[in-house]
Structure formats: C-alpha cells, structure tokens
Structure 1
Amino acid sequence: MFSFVKKKPLFLIQWQKISRKFLPVLLSLVFTLVVSSQSISSVTKTTEILWDTYGVPHIYGNNPQNAFQAFGWAQMQSHGNLLLRLYGQARGKAAEYWGQDYLESDQWVLTMGVPKRADAWYTAQSPAFRNYLQAFANGINNYAKKYPDLIDNEVKVVLPITPQDVLAHLQRVMLFTFVVDPGQVANIHRTQPAPGSNGWAIAPKRSASGKAMLLANPHLPWGDLFLWYEAQITAPGIDAYGATLVGIPVLAIAFNDNLGWTHTVNTHDGWDAYELKLQQDGYLFDNKVRPFETTNFPLKIKQKDDSFKEQIFTVKSSIHGPVVSAKEGKALALRVVGQNSPGILEQWWNMASAKNFTQFQKALQRLQIPMFTVMYADREGHIMHLFNGLVPVRQQGDFAYWQNIIPGDTSKTLWTKTHPYRDLPRVIDPPSGWLQNANDPPWTTTFPVAIKAENYPPYMAPRWPMDFRAQSSAKMLAEDDSISLEEMITYKHSTRMELAERILDDLIPAAQKQENPLARRAAEVLSKWDRQANANSRGAVLFNAWVDNLDLSTLFSTPWNEKSPLTTPDGLANSESAIKALVDAATKIEQNYGTLDIPWGEVFRLRSGNLDLPANGGDGGKGIFRTVYFAPTDNGRFQAVNGDSFVAAVEFSQPVKAKTLTSYGNATQPNSPHIGDQLPLFARQELRPVWRTRKEITAHLEARTIF
C-alpha cells in the first residue's frame, strides 16, 4: 500500500518559517493598532475644533503645532476678554492700559522680574516647543483679527500676544500666585487660606469594576486667573482630555486612554522672607556689607481723562532675591523656587502624551512643575501619590521654623539647591488600595501609613493635625471595600459635616438642659438636622453660624492624635461657652431669617446672570468634602464664589468611562450661552458625561471651526 503525502509549495514553507519568527512582532503591532485606533482615526488632514453643547472644544490637529494654534483660538472664543487682561497684567503694564487700580499688580510683577524672565524662558524652550508657543499666540491673534467686534475695546491694547506673554502669565500664576501669593507676603505669618483641592486614586482591588479610578477636584476662586478651561486635545502623539487655567496652553489636569492625573495644592513651602540688616546703603551678609542690585522701571499710569502719569519704580535685590519692604534699618527680601524652571509647559505636555507609567514618571522626573501633589491612576492598575515640588535643601529647622521671617545676614540660612525627584515623598500601589489628598501633608494619604514623616527632613512637610475634610475623605475610602464609578461620584458630592459628627452628641444634651428656651429650641433643630449641607438641610445654617463664632483650637476635650487620625479631635471642652455661642448664633439666625431651621439652600445660593439656585456644600474646614465658599450678597444671603470648580471622575476601563463638570461653565465672553450653564447640574449634584469619540462629539455638536 502506498501512502500519499502532499508536498507544500516552497513559498508556503518559507512563509511559515517567517511567520513563526515574526508572529510575536505581528501580534504586538496588531495590538498597538487596536489600542491606538481612536487616536489614529482622529488624525485629520485639516485642523478643526468640534464644539460640544457645553462649549467644550475638542481640538483635532493634523500636527501638534496646529493643535496649539487651535487651542489659542478656542481660549479666545471662550475667554477672550479675560485672557487679554491676564496677559496685560503679566507684562507689568496693566496700569498703563487700565489705570491706577492695577498699579499694585504691576509693581508685584516687576518686583518679581517676570517680563525679563519670560524672555529667558522663551530662549530656553526646545525648538519644537518654541514653535508650539508661537502657534498658540498666533491662534489668539488670528481670532482677534477675524472677530474684533467680539472683544472689548479696552483689552485690545494688549494685542498682539507673543509667546513671551504666555510664559510671563505662566510665571505669574505658578510662581507668584500659587507658590507665593502677594497677600501672603504682606502677612508673612501666612494666616490666609490657600487654594484647595481633593484628589483620589483607587486601585483595582478596591474598585467594583476591577479597574483603577481617579477623582480630580480642585477648589479655586470662581474667576480671574484661577478659572478652569475644559478641553480635549488630539494630534499625532496625544489624545488627552482635561482642563487648564485660562491662558495656559497645555492641559494641567488630564487623562487619556491609558492614564491620568490630578493636582492638589500641597503643603509645599517654596519661598522664604529674609530679614536684612541695612548698613552703608547695603546689607550685612556673613559680616560683610554687600551692595544691592538696583533696577529702575518706568511706569505709566492711565488717568481717568486718558492722560498718563509717569513715575520710576525702583527694585532693589539682595543675594536672596528682591526686596519687598524696607523700614527702620531693616528690609525683607523674598526668595522663591522655580525661577530657573522654564520647562513647566513641556512637562505637562509630556505627562498628557505618556502611554504608560514608565513614560509618565520620566516626565515627572524633569521636576519643572514647582509645586502640587500629583495623584495618578492608569489602565494597568497602578496608583501613585507624589508630593511634587521644588523643595529647598535647608541646613536647619523644621517646617514651622521656615514659616517665619528668616535671618538674612548669614549664609547658613540661604538655600541654593532643591531636592531631586528621588528625595520627594511618594507611594506607589499601597497595600490599602487607595490614596487621597485634601491638602493635608503626604503622611496621611492612606492608612496604614505608607509615607513616614520620620524618613524625610523635618522641613519637607508639616506634621500638623489632619483637618476634618481630609479625615472625611480618608474615611469614605477606608470604609468601602468595593467602590463603583457612580459611588465615587456620590462620595464626591458628600456634604456631611465631619465636625458635626464630633461635637453634636455633646452639644445637644448640654443645650437641652438649659433654662434658656432659645437654647432648647436650638438643640431641637440640631437634633433633627441630617448633619449635611444639602439644599434642603434644616439646621445646617444654625450650626454653621455657631461654628463661625468659635475658636476651634479650644473647642475639643480630646485633641487630635497622630495615632487616632480619623477619630480625633473629639468631645466638647467647655459646654458653658459653647452654649453661649449657640444662643448668640440662634438669636442672629432668627432675626435674619425668621426661623432657626431655614433650609441651607435658601441662604446659600448659586448665581450667574438670571440664574439663582439653591446651593449645596460648604466650608471644607468644617469637614465638608463638597467644598464651596460663599460671599455675602443681599438680604443676608450668600453667593458661591470659590470651591468646587472643575471635577473629573475617571474609570480606566476599555473604553475609559468619565464624567466631568466645570461648575461655572466653560466661557466668560459676553453673550456666550455657556456662562453658568452647568450650575443647574451643580445644584443637582450631577456630573456630565465626557464625550471623547468623534461619534459622541458629533452627536452633541454645537459648532465646528475648520482651519
């Protein structure tokens, strides 16, 4: 019997050998193409902006340079008047443009050397990034040329915008508002409240979906240079969604298909005020008299009749930095980190372009961004908390020491270097499976403690009590082993007052025992209160007024304890003074509103244009995670002016699931339909779905701009 075997053709044998050899490469290529399909399909022959129905620009650039130009155009369309005013201030010429009210701003900008440094920073950019900055400026100028009637006449004097203006604005925001605020300099002991934020990163082991999640939630004033602008930027090499501060040409908080991050204002100390001893027209340093460097700036100040008043503004500088005050034989000189960090924007761009944790960390290691916690999560399941910043290497003293005025007559106190990346407090993938920061020091980012304070210099960050908002943040995460995206969003909107949980169980019984009928009625209201600051919460207004009359440092019988960080402080120390304060608060509430149990939302409001809605949320110092700060208006009411601004809740599933909100809307230009259009969602404690694919965006398309 014969057996028949069919021979394979030679070319097929050769192909099988080749395919076996290169099969892993081919599979890898196919995987890459599938993962990148959205980005590849997004690259177009032209550059365009797809505007969705909330005024969010989705920028599709056929190259990065054109994407930058489109982003400049978009910011002008949404915020043109504000943008030009901010750039005018960053030049140090705002008083020349708009009058006396801006003189102090100009003096601060010139004292800090912002315009001159902007030139140096521009020269220091990589060739590619210089082109990107020029393109961003071109987009601003091109919009102004095409639509001059849509821009206020008084701000047109700032045009044309240059890349140096963009970098000057960046300095003014990052170094001379966040790192050091002029208000802090006026009050060296730093009692002013700082901008705040919440940030969460949840690992797959604590996520209901088994996917990592990220919560971004900065709290900033609702205007001026603190305003967030939401956008999507897609070009070869990048497809990122997020937000940036108006006037900044890259996303500062963002996510892509692979990873994302948020920033929180950290307990970073990047500036010091040095007291100089004046001698012989100079100052004493290491037992020698050194001369000041002196620079004269001509200042023009526009008068009400459109004439100009001219004066010379003189800035003296010591080896420490510029002198900010001088009297009675002494002067204060300011030293601020980050002045040799021209790569802030490129680092943010690289972070948004990163495809994995390795690439993201490589971007972070450039250490150009002068402050802010980085809270990170990705599709592979990694989470990270980095205490990011340029931290001076100091020879002595703890954190508290460096909050005061520092002797400037010795080189022993003069820092000249900052810590490298490897020195900064950081935790990756903690056993707990969760990380949080609510502007507390890094030591309380998770429990069990993952970053130990004793392993770092005592000046790195403070070891002060964990405040109530941070405690509330950590407790929500610690007490839920399986958190879904919707649950994370619900937690984000929590208005529960942690402070009330600690004190009402003592206060209410003490008030009920009083002979004063008002004290007993106040106790009745507080006993029925839900301990939240929702619009319909009755009792929150009374409790809020009571707390505002107290010194919290003496309120508790049990002080905060590092070993019991989430349950202390606790208990009422002095019931007599507490009851007196309660009666005083109740008297005022009844006089102002006619009833002790007026709903929170009747007193605290969300206002924009014709909108006047009941608010929810409140002071983070009382332990409210949904942080909103209010300013008094009329009839004893208060209006939201600060707090929850941009929110993003992201789950790194495939595809990525995300919801956002820009509280005050994504535009400020007059007659824009997007001024305040998201406030109703804010009032209902809702986020919007994020539209990232072309199909989603075109289904909610408001307009298209083609370049």
Structure 2
Amino acid sequence: MGCQSIGAPPRSTEILWDTYGVPHIYGKDVRNAFYAFGWSQMQSHGNLLLRLYGQARGRGAEYWGEEYLESDKWTLTMGVPSRARSWYEAQNPSFRSYLDGFAEGINAYVKENPNLIDDSVEVVLPVKGEDILAHLQRVLHFTFMVNPEQVLGISKQKSKAGSNGWSIAPKRTASGNAMLLANPHLPWSDLFLWYEAQITAPGINTYGASLVGIPVLNIAFNDNLGWTHTVNTHDGWDAYELKLSGDGYIFDGKVRPFETKTTQLKVKQKNGTLRSEPLEIKSSVHGPIVTQKDGKPIALRVVGLNRPGTLEQWWDMGRARNFSQFQEVLRRLQLPMFTVMYADREGHIMHLFNGQVPVHSQGDFKYWQGIIPGDTSKTLWTKIHPYQDLPRVIDPPSGWLQNANDPPWTTTFPLAIKADDYPLYMAPRSMDFRAQRSARMLDEDKKISFDEMISYKHSTRMELADRILDDLIPAARKYGNEVAKRAATVLETWDRQANVDSKGAVLFANWAVELDFDKAFSKPWIERLPRITPDGLANSKGAVALLETAAAKVEKTYGKLDVAWGDVFRLKHGNVDLPGNGGDGDLGIFRVIDFAPDSEGKFKPVAGDSYVAAIEFSKPVKAMALTGYGNATQPGSPHATQQLPMMQEKKLRPVWRTRKEITANLEERKIFK
C-alpha cells in the first residue's frame, strides 16, 4: 500500500500523526476507524487508559493495591461492571461491533508494542467492549454527575469541572459566518484528560476531542456544524434518607426488605498476595445505600442508568450534516447531562440545557439539593422530562449565546427564555462573575472577528475587581492601617487582569479568597439586574480588615505587595515551568486556570483550560485549537507538554484537517493491512 496516492479514498486504514501528536484516522470502514482510534489512544495514553479501565471494573485494588479500594467500593456499589455488561448487550449490533473494534485496537497495540506499556497495567488485558461502557459510566454518571466525595459528605458543592462555551450567529461576526468557541475547564489529570483527534471514515469526517478511554469525540465539529459542552446546573441525582424498621425500611406505610448482595473484593498486598474482603451492597427502591447520616441510611438515585445509547448518540452528533439532523439525534436524550452549545454553516446557533431531568411533583432546585425523605413514593421520581420540555434557545435576536456554567436563563440578553416558564426544580437562578464577564464581552462587540474571539477567550480581566474596587480602595484609605493604604495604591494602579506581569492581582486574589460571597455585598445578586449585581461592600470595615490580613501575608511571603502574577502562579507541568496567566473563575476571569499550592508560595495548575477550539463555519472551515497540557501522557512522548508555551502566550495553533495540510506536518504514519 506504500504507493497509494494521498488523494485516493483509503483502501487501507491508517493513522497520520501530525507534529503535535494529533492522530488523523482514516478508516476504510467505521469499525476499522474505531480500531485505529483505540490503537492511537494507547500510543498516546496507554498506561492511563488501562489503569482507568481496571478501575471501571472495580478491580483496581486487586491489580494495584490498597489505594484503589475506595474507588472499587464506589464502582461496585454503583453497579458499574454488571450494568456495563447489560448495556453492552443492549447496543445495536453494528455499534457493538465498533466498540469491539476499539477494544481490539487497544489489545493489538500492546501485542505489537509490549515494551511501551507499563508492566503493572498489562494485567487489565485483554480489554473488551463492556470495559468501555463501564469506563463511560464511571466517568459520566459516577464522577461528573455525582462523585463519592459529594455523596459521602452529602454535599453538592461546586466541583472543579467547568467550562465556557460560545455560539455566535453571522449577524454578530465580522465575516458573516457563524462561530463556535469550545472551552472546557477540567482537571489536568486522571479520567478528565482530553485527547484531540480527527476521525474520517465513510459517512464521517469529524475533528475534536474525547476524554481518554472514550471511543467517540465528545466535543467536535465537521464541515457543516459543531458543538461544545459545558457542565450544566443540572440535578441528576438525589439522596434519600430512609426510616428503618426491623431489617427493612418504611415506604408508603409498609416495611420493605432491602435487596442485599455480597461480593468479594480482592486487595493486592505489598508481598503480592491477595487479601479478600466482603462488600455488602444494600439497595432500596431508590437505589444503593451509600452512607449513613445520623444513623439513618442514605440511598442514591441517579438518572440515565437505563439509557445505554450515550456513545452512539455522540457518534451520530458528529455524523450529522445539518441542524435538523443534529436535533433529531439530540432528541434521543441519551446524554445524562451537559449543556450543548451549537453553531453551523447555515448560520444557526443553539443553546440546549441538555440532560435527563427527573419529573418531580414538588420542590424547587434547592429542595432537591438537600436530603429527601425516602419513606414515601411522592418523592420518588420515575420519569424524566422529554426533549421538548428542556430549556433551549435557537437563533436569538441578540445573535449570541454564552454559557459559563450558569443556569440557562442568562445565556443571552435580551433574555430569550423565561425561568418562570419552567418547573422550579429545572435549574437555579443565578449568574456568577465569570458568566457576567462572558456575556459582557459578547454583548459589547457588535461584530466579532475570529481573532477577536480568540483574544476574548484568553481574557484574564477580573469582573469582581471591576465591580468592587471602587468601594474597596476608598474604604481602605478611610479605615485602613498603613499596609492597607499602601495596598489601596497597588490596587489602584493594577490593570485588573491576571496576566504574567499584572501587579496587584496576587494581592486582590488573596483578599477575595477570604471573602464570603454570600454576605460580602451590600446589594446581592438580583434576577432583574443579572449583569450588574452583586455590588457594594456590605461591611466596609470588615472588608478592609481582610485586606490588611491579605496584604500582610503577601508582603511577608513575597517581600512586596506588587508582586507580579506570573512570579507566583506558574504554568508548571511535567518538566516545563513558565510564568502563568489566568486564574479562578470565581474572580470573574474568563481564562480559567485553577492553581494549587506548589512550593514556597508558588502555585501550579491543577485544572482549567484544557482543550480549546475556536471554529468559524466559513468555506473551508477555519479552526484553531490547543490542548494545553499536550496530547500524550506516555513516558518519553515529545507531545507531553509541547503546547504549554503556546498556552502561556495565549495562542492557539492551526488545526490541520485536509490530507494536504496533515502530510505537510506529518510526524509518523501507521498503515494497518
């Protein structure tokens, strides 16, 4: 096949690897494309992928020891491996064969490259189609939607998984073409890592990113349309408190027995032997018992466990040619959560509050965030809302849509949907500073060019600083001690951004982190003024006291108040260590990077901007992208942190989609006979 001309349709299946480590897969048929995608994921992320699949089986402790025990207990209590087997049987036969193809590609890679995969993870082989579905459930239902930390603490506090998404109609773009911005913010490790790829096979030519171990692209575009996802304010799980009676629990005035099954967990010991430990799983009509509160068992109910078509829906979204086809696929409602932000070549834009939303007979969003009484069928939901019930906006008069993990009501201005038209439990009502910043940038520019969209995407301006410095600075001068007055001067000259050389940002962020946002403002968030509230300091003297503490801490740690942001916040990952920009979305920064303490007052990224894509639906489609932490985690890969310097410079790189572009930037070619 070596002499085959580049322009001919593929008679064999091949992977063309570009110089950024992005695989461009050409499948002679769809099953072979899945095979090649499994192969390429192993070449880039093999050790991680096998570890994740081992955990999805609930056998991490058996393979690798005690540290995986809690993860196994969670996975088995949630019934992931057994449900994955029934989901596998429920796939339509052709799609099931695609999953088998992906698994075969994984196994074949290791067979051909045994020395490139860590010995400790080879115990997971061979991988089967059902492993992919177990991993999908562990990722989507039991990490993104509900994770053990939330449940065991019974708290629904905000996770670090977030995103920005923009859809801009032709009337608001400089070129007259619709544009889409994909900008998920996920942790930079583990099952949250994005993998950028292009998949071409009969009936499909789609570019985008999937989470490692997922065999289809989750955020993607083709020549006609594209979409991105944001984590939505969606209530996909509920915790029920049970009343015990004898060996059972009370439900509608009768005592019901628990369903109980015991499974044996194996735990690998330091000396290599296996210890066995029983795990008893008790379930009520609501779902499995996951924890106790005040001596009462808490049962967990999660949406979507009877909807096995998630992967096929994503695949078909990537195959859609136009808006009506795309909506037809969305109507299946197989994705348990995630907002869909959409744009296409014909100029349509859409924001869909997508997800499986339980139909409740009572209660608002806040009620369902709490612990629900489990002794009555009145609180036990059994149905979900159909597609037409979900909040969505298509082609709004404003010409733009945004989502920054805010509820759907604030997606555009003037408002295009009314929260009052939907059940009170559908989504909360709020708009945080990052979403306000997002809407401000879109609203204030009447004709946005492609380059401007990329520049806005990297904006580190703090909406919170714009809102509150006019109160904080005079208060510091009035009530503050000597250090607070010097702090006021630093804040006054600061550019209100979190760029490498921004001086004042470290001080402001240290002050804001101590602020109780629920009580800090004299004017709280008001639904009829969603973009200019909250505002004002509720307690000026208290705010100044916080500033004195923050200033003293900054001066003690860094020797000065006006330390540059990039000296403290580093883009440090792998063997790269660069001055950073961006910061916490709670400050109203659109360019989100979540930093964690590293060493001696320095911070390093743990989450935030990960895969970014800017797309304009011109002819041909224009696209730029970046996978900040690189497109590989295998030891020795040149692609591990390759793109971090561009991230630091707030740049995206061109996306290569045609054979001509890819072969001009070719690093390696793999042909499958």
Q: TM-score scaled to structure 1, two decimals? A: 0.93
User: What are the within-5 Å matches in structure 2 for residues 62-141 of structure 1?
Assistant: 62-141=28-107
Are positions 1:565 and 2:556 aligned together? Answer: no
Alignment check: 8 A CA contact 1:179 1:271 kept: yes
Are positions 1:225 and 2:196 aligned together? Answer: no
- Structure 1: how far apart are the matches of 2:541 and 2:440? 31
Alignment check: 8 A CA contact 1:277 1:329 kept: no
Query: Can you list the C-alpha shifts for 1:493-532, whole angstroms capped at 9, x where unaligned?
Result: 0000000001101111222235622111111111110000
Question: Structure 1's 558 and 133: CA in aligned 2 closer, same or farther, altered over 3 A?
Answer: same
Are positions 1:703 and 2:663 aligned together? Answer: no
Equivalent residue number for residue 665 of structure 1: 630
- Structure 2: how far apart are the matches of 1:566 and 1:258? 33
Alignment check: 8 A CA contact 1:337 1:370 kept: yes
Equivalent residue number for residue 506 of structure 2: 541
User: What are the within-5 Å matches in structure 2 for residues 499-538 of structure 1?
Assistant: 499-514=464-479, 516-538=481-503
Aligned residue identity for 1:176: F
Shift of 1:609: 2.8
Shift of 1:43: 3.1
Equivalent residue number for residue 334 of structure 1: 300
- Structure 1: how far apart are the matches of 2:368 and 2:57? 31
- Structure 2: how far apart are the matches of 1:598 and 1:328? 48
Aligned residue identity for 1:330: K
- Stretch of structure 1 that moved more, 321-330 or 198-207: 321-330
Equivalent residue number for residue 559 of structure 2: 594
Are positions 1:616 and 2:581 aligned together? Answer: yes
Aligned residue identity for 1:582: L
Q: Percent identity?
A: 70
SS in structure 2 at match of 1:396: coil
Shift of 1:192: 4.2
- Structure 1: how far apart are the matches of 2:480 and 2:334? 62
- Structure 1: how far apart are the matches of 2:523 and 2:448? 32
Equivalent residue number for residue 686 of structure 1: 651
SS in structure 1 at match of 2:242: strand
Aligned residue identity for 1:509: P
Question: Structure 1's 581 and 300: CA in aligned 2 closer, same or farther, altered over 3 A?
Answer: same
Equivalent residue number for residue 3 of structure 2: none
Are positions 1:651 and 2:621 aligned together? Answer: no
Query: Can you list the C-alpha shifts for 1:350-405, whole angstroms capped at 9, x where unaligned?
Result: 00000001110111011000000000000000000000000001111110100000
Equivalent residue number for residue 313 of structure 2: 347
Equivalent residue number for residue 19 of structure 1: none
Aligned residue identity for 2:337: M
- Structure 1: how far apart are the matches of 2:663 and 2:195? 20
Are positions 1:574 and 2:539 aligned together? Answer: yes
Are positions 1:57 and 2:27 aligned together? Answer: no
Equivalent residue number for residue 127 of structure 2: 161
User: What are the within-5 Å matches in structure 2 for residues 379-390 of structure 1?
Assistant: 379-390=345-356
Aligned residue identity for 1:638: F
Shift of 1:234: 0.3
- Structure 2: how far apart are the matches of 1:451 and 1:698? 47
Shift of 1:194: 4.5
Aligned residue identity for 1:181: N
Aligned residue identity for 2:651: E
- Structure 2: how far apart are the matches of 1:540 and 1:264? 27
Shift of 1:579: 1.1
Shift of 1:569: 1.1
- Structure 2: how far apart are the matches of 1:302 and 1:515? 59
Equivalent residue number for residue 47 of structure 1: 13
- Structure 2: how far apart are the matches of 1:670 and 1:229? 16
Alignment check: 8 A CA contact 1:320 1:333 kept: yes
Alignment check: 8 A CA contact 2:480 2:544 kept: no
- Structure 2: how far apart are the matches of 1:42 and 1:614? 46
Q: Which runs of 5+ in 2 are unaligned?
A: 1-5
Equivalent residue number for residue 407 of structure 2: 441
Q: Which runs of 5+ in 1 are unaligned?
A: 1-39
Aligned residue identity for 1:498: E
Query: Which of 630, 634, 637 is the matching residue for 2:599?
Result: 634
SS in structure 1 at match of 2:446: coil
- Stretch of structure 1 that moved more, 504-513 or 471-480: 504-513
Question: Structure 1's 192 and 487: CA in aligned 2 closer, same or farther, altered over 3 A?
Answer: closer
Shift of 1:328: 5.9
Are positions 1:364 and 2:326 aligned together? Answer: no
Equivalent residue number for residue 453 of structure 2: 488
Query: Can you list the C-alpha shifts for 1:142-174, whole angstroms capped at 9, x where unaligned?
Result: 000000100111100001000010000000001
Are positions 1:243 and 2:204 aligned together? Answer: no
Aligned residue identity for 1:681: M
Aligned residue identity for 1:172: R
- Structure 2: how far apart are the matches of 1:488 and 1:415? 42
Aligned residue identity for 1:325: T
Shift of 1:308: 1.1
Equivalent residue number for residue 400 of structure 1: 366
- Structure 2: how far apart are the matches of 1:55 and 1:221? 21
Aligned residue identity for 1:99: G
- Structure 2: how far apart are the matches of 1:421 and 1:586? 51
- Structure 2: how far apart are the matches of 1:555 and 1:515? 18
Alignment check: 8 A CA contact 1:119 1:164 kept: yes
- Structure 1: how far apart are the matches of 2:11 and 2:276? 52
Shift of 1:674: 0.6
**Which has the greater radius of gyration?**
1
Cα root mean square deviation, aligned: 1.1
Aligned residue identity for 2:226: G
Equivalent residue number for residue 207 of structure 1: 173
- Structure 2: how far apart are the matches of 1:191 and 1:268? 13
Query: Can you list the C-alpha shifts for 1:247-273, whole angstroms capped at 9, x where unaligned?
Result: 000000000000000000000001001
Aligned residue identity for 2:39: W
- Structure 1: how far apart are the matches of 2:283 and 2:598? 43
SS in structure 1 at match of 2:279: strand
Alignment check: 8 A CA contact 2:136 2:214 kept: yes
Alignment check: 8 A CA contact 2:160 2:187 kept: no
- Structure 2: how far apart are the matches of 1:328 and 1:522? 47
SS in structure 1 at match of 2:365: coil
Equivalent residue number for residue 251 of structure 2: 285
Query: Which of 391, 398, 403 is the matching residue for 1:432?
Result: 398
Query: Can you list the C-alpha shifts for 1:313-359, whole angstroms capped at 9, x where unaligned?
Result: 11011100001124665211000001011100000000000000111
Shift of 1:91: 0.2
Question: Structure 1's 430 and 471: CA in aligned 2 closer, same or farther, altered over 3 A?
Answer: same
Q: TM-score scaled to structure 2, two decimals? A: 0.98
Q: Which runs of 4+ in 1 moved over 6 A?
A: none
- Structure 1: how far apart are the matches of 2:575 and 2:314? 37
Alignment check: 8 A CA contact 1:42 1:60 kept: no
Alignment check: 8 A CA contact 1:43 1:235 kept: no
SS in structure 1 at match of 2:250: strand
Alignment check: 8 A CA contact 1:42 1:694 kept: no
SS in structure 2 at match of 1:244: strand
Are positions 1:198 and 2:164 aligned together? Answer: yes
Equivalent residue number for residue 472 of structure 1: 437
Alignment check: 8 A CA contact 2:480 2:548 kept: no
- Structure 1: how far apart are the matches of 2:499 and 2:147? 33
- Structure 1: how far apart are the matches of 2:232 and 2:150? 16
- Structure 1: how far apart are the matches of 2:452 and 2:501? 21
Question: Structure 1's 474 and 327: CA in aligned 2 closer, same or farther, altered over 3 A?
Answer: closer
- Structure 1: how far apart are the matches of 2:212 and 2:219? 13
Aligned residue identity for 2:561: L
SS in structure 2 at match of 1:459: coil
SS in structure 1 at match of 2:518: helix
Alignment check: 8 A CA contact 2:480 2:545 kept: no
